[in-house]
Structure formats: structure tokens, C-alpha cells
Amino acid sequence: MSARSESPEIVIRPHVENFIDWSVDKPKVLVLTADLTNSCEVGKWSDTYPDRYFSMGMAEQNMMGFAAGLAREGFEPWLHTFSVFLYRRPLDQLQMSVAYPNLKVRLVGFLPGIATPGGVTHQSIDDIAIMRVIPNMTVLEVGDATEVESVLDIAHAIDGPVYLRMLRGEVPRLFETPMEFNKARVLNRADDNINEPADIVILTSGICTEEAMRAVPAMVDRGLKVTHLHVSTLKPFSDPTVTAALTSARKGVITMENHLVTGGLGSAVAEVMAENAIAVPLSRIGLNDTYAHGASLPYLLKEYQLDARALVDRAEALTGLSLSIPDSDLAETRVAALHSEAKAEAL
Amino acid sequence: MAVQIGKMLAPEDIASATTMAENIRYRVFAHVMANNGGYLSQACSAAELLATLYTVANLAPLVSPKIPEPFKQVPGKGAAYLNGGDFHGEMGPDRDRIVVSPAHYALVVYAALIETGRLEASALEQFNKDGSTVEMIGAEHSPGFESTTGSLAQALSTAGGIALGRRIKGESGLVYVFMSDGEFQEGQTWEALQALAFHKLDNVRVIVDVNKGQCDGPMSEVMNIEPLSLRIRAFGCSVDSVQGHDISTLATALTRPTGKPHFVLAYTDPVRGVPVLNERAPNLHYLRFTGEEERQRYANAFAQMKVGR
């Protein structure tokens, strides 16, 4: 699939109606929120199913416990709040009340990484790292509107707690087929056979996939053999397609994530490479031991070198080639107006 | 007058609960002597609370006392996980639940289960032994523990969720929670209180061992929580402050209908029945003998308690 010459369809608040429709025949599904109901696109859900919606106020530690109790009684609570508030303050409660007993609590976290102008307090740059080390936890991250829609069934089917790194507002539709559990999407193949050598293998997650999809076609055009995988299941991380693709890398592997380079996708890939003795360089794109600050997404992607250009630079460094790709070939970054009508309610 | 919540205690119930409390204290003291130390003060303070709770709560009977299974695995790793709530009998819509919050009281809870015929007395031989579920600070595989509460002040929130879930399902059973006063230092406890009141969960009844002590010493010196009853009431819950060693008073307070989440603050004596502990006051959290001389004094005190029975 190439996204270079065509702008993807932009879906406005895909979670709102989809989650309402999806919940209609699932009476055990409840929603708990902590004062960010409209901000997490469940305001209409709460109007539609008032008997299944519970406001817990700005009190996330207690919300974890209530969710645990409800899950023990056979319900499936879907907690909706910003990602940071699901694992920073209430981490002990998340671990002892929810994760240890392996309860079917769904932690739906919005504003992944630097995808918010809300600044350091609202930017979940370490959530994947922390969630990945919690026993019993499943970690999912969506990259487009189709995944926002199809991730619900995946989370619903898991017998245990699930952390879901979610997107809101204006979300591009990059994929036509539903997300599959523990299965990476192969967006570009160096060869029809995934086992055939590739110059570089690129693995991306979340909103970084769209950035990579701007750069990969340009690199391919210049003769680079690139395999590009989009990863939406961060834990477990045992997809044989990933291992096969990594094994096919000749010059190196690049990971690209809206997260610290420690503990997230880059680390997960490093573990697989080490365990399988895949001896090529690994270059991790992400935040490098730094917090970020409040600014627009395109600004921050550029500042922290998380954009399409950064990927080209890394590919050049790994291969020793000069690809001579002008900015015009990296398709303009889609800009969602900061205060557009489609943006969810205030922070 | 509104109907009573929970079981009305007859004089013979009160008599048997009184005996139960004495036996809990005795059993824990015996265990502490045999094991050269342990959580003794918690039995002194909470014996009547747990005896009352297990008498008042509507729990399904067991055919016979259960023998705890050895530790097999933690939850989520394949096979079915055994739950300490099984010792409270089969759950049912009209059955009550008991959620124990301070897991550090595990030894006292085990003793209470033995005295109510729910746990084999031999189980205490497995206390704090490798491979046993009769752990010192148990998890939810430990007898009497529905949830994992060693990180204090989390059980009330979980109990709130259980109570909310039971209300959605239309179940009439109550959710009793046993708490310690130190847990009122944690912010989560107050988050739980405001949520219980906000969601009108009057099916939650909490009994608190206010023994005024914690690991570092007297609570008044570590971090004050008083006036506790006023604070709880201000959060929208009902409160009874009672003397914590009178079964009849405790039972009345615990079953008084209030239409709100209800808290019984049981003010207790942390050396009740074992006055020799006064030598250590106010540092009573865990008894570890300083030497043979001290051990002998406790042995004498235990012998006296034995004679008095």
C-alpha cells in the first residue's frame, strides 16, 4: 500500500459511534471515567447507556479498585482516560488490584506519546515500557481509524487486563483490513517472500506508521529494498512474521515509535533480535531519554526527529547511501487544526 | 424503625462469638509462642471484631473445615486459580461477602476461620512456610482473602466495585470490609469513601480496628487521622464509634440500617488479654523477642491465659 501520492481519508472521532454500536449487544461492558468523558469520546456513550456508565471523578487509584471489583462480579469495565493517568499515579493499584488477579479490565488510554499539545504532564512517553513489564498485561496500540474500530473485538476476547493506546479526534484511515492480534501488518515487502533479503527492515507503531508510509515509497523508488511492518500488538511480541522480517535484514533494522526508545517497540525488537541471534545493527527512532513539551504534533515530530525525514536520515546512515530525497517527496504532513471542530473537548 | 441489616444476634450467638474471640486471641498467642514472635497485638485488638463479623455475616456454611492447598501458581497462568474467598463458602445473591483489607492481619484471620469451622486447625502449621498458601501477608490464594491486599488501602475500592456490581445484578447480599485505622492515612481510602457515598453504595459495611498503632509506632506521632468519625461523616457516609471489645455493641453498630455506606469505628485495646505487651507499647506492630528473658515473660503470660481457660 502506498500513501505517498494520496492523502488518506480522515475519519472524525471514529471511536464515538463505533463503540456505541459495538456495545449494544454486550450488556456486561461498562464504562468508567475520571473527569475526561467527552475528551475520551464516550460522552455520547454515557448518554446512550446511562445505566452502564459510572463517573469516578478525578480519582484514578480508586477507579482501578472499582474496576477490579466490577470485573470480579463478571462485568467488563472499559476505563477511558488519558494514557498518563492510567499508569503513573495509580500504578500500584493497577498492578495489585487489576493485573495480579488477571481481571478483564480494559484500560483505554488516549493522547499517546507526544500526540498532544498538553505538554509533559499529558504526554505518555513511557506507557508502553511500563505496561509491557506488567505480568498478565496485554498491550495494544492503534495506528489508524480501522484499528480504532477493530481493536475492540481484540481487547474484548482477551482473558485478562488490556492496555489500549488509543487515538481520538481526526484519525487517518490507512488500512482496509481489521487489526489482528499479535500479527504485524506487512506494508511493504522488499521481496514477495518475506524471507528474502531486505536492505533494511522498518518496524513502526501508532502514529509513526503514517510518517513511515510517507518515506518508504520514496526510499523504494531510489532502489532501496525495504520491508516495512506496522506493529499493533506490543505484548505479547511473538509474531513469527516479525522474526522472519528481522532475519531478512541485511544492512540493519529501524524501529520508529511515539515513545521513549527504551522499553517500547525498539526494546521489544532488540529482545527478539538478540534471542534469535540476528546480527545486524538496530537503529531506534523515538524520544531519547528526554521528556517533551507542549506544542503541535508536526512541530514535535520534527523537533524530536520522529518524522518521515528522520526515518530517511536513519536509513541513509545504516546503508551508507545518499538517497537524495527532497521534502516534496515526503508528502506533506497532515495537519489537524489545533482548535478545529473535530477535536475532542478541552484537556 | 427500619429493618435490621444482616443477622440479628441472639444471646447464644453473642456468647458463642465471645468464646470465639477468646479462642482467636489464645490461638494466635500460642502460635506466636511456638514461632518465636509474630503479629500478636492485631489479635489482641481485633479478636472481637472478626468474631462479630463472622457471626453477623450471612456466609454459606462449609461441609467441613477446609485444608488449604499448597501454592500452585499466580493468576493468569493457565490453570484455575484457587481463591481464598472459597473459605467463606459458596457465593450467592443473598449471601454476604467479607473482604479483608489489611493483609497483615492474616494470622488473626486464619485463627478466626479456624474458630468458625472454615479452616482446619492444622493449617497454622503451614503459616509462613515455603510453598504454602497460608502466607504471612497473604495474597488472594490465602484462606479468607478474596483479593490481594498487602498493599494497604486498596480493598475498599475493590469492595466498592463488588458492591456496585452486585447492585447492578440486583443481589441483596452485603459487602463487609474489615479495615485497619492506619489505612485512613492513604489518599485512596478517601477516594473510595467519596465514591461509595456518591454512588450510594449502602450495601457496603466497614468495620475498622482503631488500635491507634502502626508500624512506626503510635499513629498520633506518625500521622494523625482523628477526628476520624467526623471526617468519614463529612464524606457522606454513616459512622458509629464504639468500644471494640463488646460483641453486642459491635453487632448492633454493624447491622444498624443507615441508608449510606456504613463505618463502624471499633476503638480497641492493642494489648487486650495480653497485658505483658504493655512493656513494648507503643511499638506493637510485630513481636520479635529481644532475648530469652523476654520470651520467658511471654511464656509465663501465655501459661496464665491457658490456666484461665
Whether residue A143 sits in one domain with residue A72: yes
Whether residue A151 sits in one domain with residue A257: no
Q: The domain that contains A46 carries what CATH number? A: 3.40.50.970
Q: Which residues of A110-148 are buried (b: 16+ CB within 10 A; e: fewer)?
A: bbbbbbbbeeeebbbbbbbbbbbebebbbbbbbbbbbbb
Above 70 in pLDDT, residue A57? yes
Whether residue A205 sits in one domain with residue A121: no
- Please tell me the predicted confidence (pLDDT) of residue B8: 78
Chain A residues in contact with B76 by the CB 8 A cut-off are 101-102, 135-136, 159-160
Residue A115 within any structural domain of the chain: yes
A194-215 pLDDT per residue, tens = 788 999 999 999 999 999 999 9
Question: Do A69 and B161 lie within an 8 Å CB cutoff?
Answer: yes
Longest Cα–Cα distance in chain B:
58
Question: Do A75 and B158 lie within an 8 Å CB cutoff?
Answer: no
B140-170 pLDDT per residue, tens = 999 999 999 999 999 999 999 999 999 999 9
Distances (CA, A) of A16 to A87, A164, A343: 24, 16, 12
Residue among B270, B59, B158, B153 nearest A66 (CA): B158
* CA pseudo-torsion sign A233, A235, A241, A246: positive
Whether residue A284 sits in one domain with residue A150: no
Which one of 3.50.50.60, 3.40.50.970, 3.40.50.720, 3.80.10.10 gives the CATH number of domain B11-60+82-307?
Answer: 3.40.50.970
Q: How many domains does chain A have?
A: 2
3-state DSSP assignment of residue B46: helix
Where does the pLDDT of residue A333 fall: very low under 50, low under 70, confident under 90, or very high at 90 and above? very low
- Please tell me the predicted confidence (pLDDT) of residue B307: 87
- Please tell me the predicted confidence (pLDDT) of residue B3: 56
Residue A344 within any structural domain of the chain: no
Above 80 in pLDDT, residue A1? no
Q: Which residues of B262-291 are buried (b: 16+ CB within 10 A; e: fewer)?
A: bbbbbbbbbbbbbeebeebebebbebebee
- Please tell me the predicted confidence (pLDDT) of residue B94: 97
Mean pLDDT of B85-91: 96
Q: Strands (DSSP E) along A169-302, which ranges? A: 170-173, 185-188, 198-205, 226-231, 233-235, 249-260, 282-287
Where does the pLDDT of residue A101 fall: very low under 50, low under 70, confident under 90, or very high at 90 and above? very high
CA distance B188 to chain A (A): 6
Above 90 in pLDDT, residue A88? yes
ipTM of the prediction: 0.95
Whether residue A73 sits in one domain with residue A118: yes
Domain that holds residue A232: 185-330
- Please tell me the predicted confidence (pLDDT) of residue A5: 47
Question: Do B164 and A160 lie within an 8 Å CB cutoff?
Answer: no
Residue among B234, B163, B229 nearest B199 (CA): B163
Show which of residues 136-175 on chain A sit within 8 Å of chain B, judged by CB atoms: 136, 159-160
Whether residue A302 sits in one domain with residue A206: yes
Residue among A287, A292, A331, A279 nearest A309 (CA): A331
- Cβ contacts below 8 Å, chain A against chain B, sum to 107
Above 70 in pLDDT, residue A342? no
Chain B residues in contact with A74 by the CB 8 A cut-off are 165, 169
Grid cell, residue A2, equals 502506498
Q: Could you tell me if B103 lies within 8 Å of chain A, comparing CB atoms?
A: no
Mean pLDDT of B280-299: 92
Interface test with B, best of A28, A49, A72, A162 (most B CBs within 10 A): A72
Residue A279 within any structural domain of the chain: yes
Report the residue of chain A nearest B170, measured CA to CA: A73
Distances (CA, A) of A162 to A103, A126, A200: 9, 16, 32
Chain B residues in contact with A101 by the CB 8 A cut-off are 75-76, 140, 147-148
Above 60 in pLDDT, residue A334? no
- Please tell me the predicted confidence (pLDDT) of residue A335: 39
The CA-CA-CA angle for residues A31, A37, A40, to 5°, reads 90
Pairwise CA distance, residues A120 & B185, whole Å = 29
Mean pLDDT of B207-235: 95
Question: Do B195 and A93 lie within an 8 Å CB cutoff?
Answer: no
Residue A341 within any structural domain of the chain: no
Mean pLDDT of A130-148: 98
Question: Do A101 and B161 lie within an 8 Å CB cutoff?
Answer: no
Above 70 in pLDDT, residue A328? yes
Whether residue A113 sits in one domain with residue A80: yes
Question: Do A100 and B151 lie within an 8 Å CB cutoff?
Answer: no
Grid cell, residue B59, equals 456466609
Whether residue A166 sits in one domain with residue A44: yes
Where does the pLDDT of residue A6 fall: very low under 50, low under 70, confident under 90, or very high at 90 and above? low
Report the residue of chain A nearest B77, measured CA to CA: A136
Question: Do A96 and B148 lie within an 8 Å CB cutoff?
Answer: yes
Whether residue A287 sits in one domain with residue A159: no
Whether residue A191 sits in one domain with residue A163: no
Residue B285 CA to its chain's centroid (Å): 15
Residue A285 within any structural domain of the chain: yes
The set of residues, in sequence order, having a beta carbon less than 8 Å from that of B36 and lying 6+ positions away, is B288, B289, B295
Mean pLDDT of B96-125: 97
Pairwise CA distance, residues A32 & A53, whole Å = 6
End-to-end CA distance of chain A: 35
Of the three residues A142, A173, A204, the one that is the final residue of a domain is A173
Helix (H) or strand (E) holding B56: helix B41-56
Pairwise CA distance, residues B186 & A201, whole Å = 49
Residue A326 within any structural domain of the chain: yes
Question: Do B161 and A68 lie within an 8 Å CB cutoff?
Answer: yes
Instruction: Report residue B142: phi and psi, to 5°.
Output: -85, 145
Of the three residues A113, A139, A173, the one that is the final residue of a domain is A173
The set of residues, in sequence order, having a beta carbon less than 8 Å from that of A263 and lying 6+ positions away, is A126, A128, A129, A130, A132, A133
Residue A346 within any structural domain of the chain: no
Instruction: Report residue A345: phi and psi, to 5°.
Output: -60, 170
Whether residue A148 sits in one domain with residue A70: yes
Q: What share of residues in chain B are helix, strand, coil (percent, to 5)? A: 45, 10, 45
Of the three residues A139, A173, A207, the one that is the final residue of a domain is A173
Instruction: Report residue A204: phi and psi, to 5°.
Output: -130, 160
Whether residue A194 sits in one domain with residue A158: no
Question: Do B160 and A62 lie within an 8 Å CB cutoff?
Answer: yes
Mean pLDDT of B278-303: 92
Tell me B287's DSSP state.
Answer: B
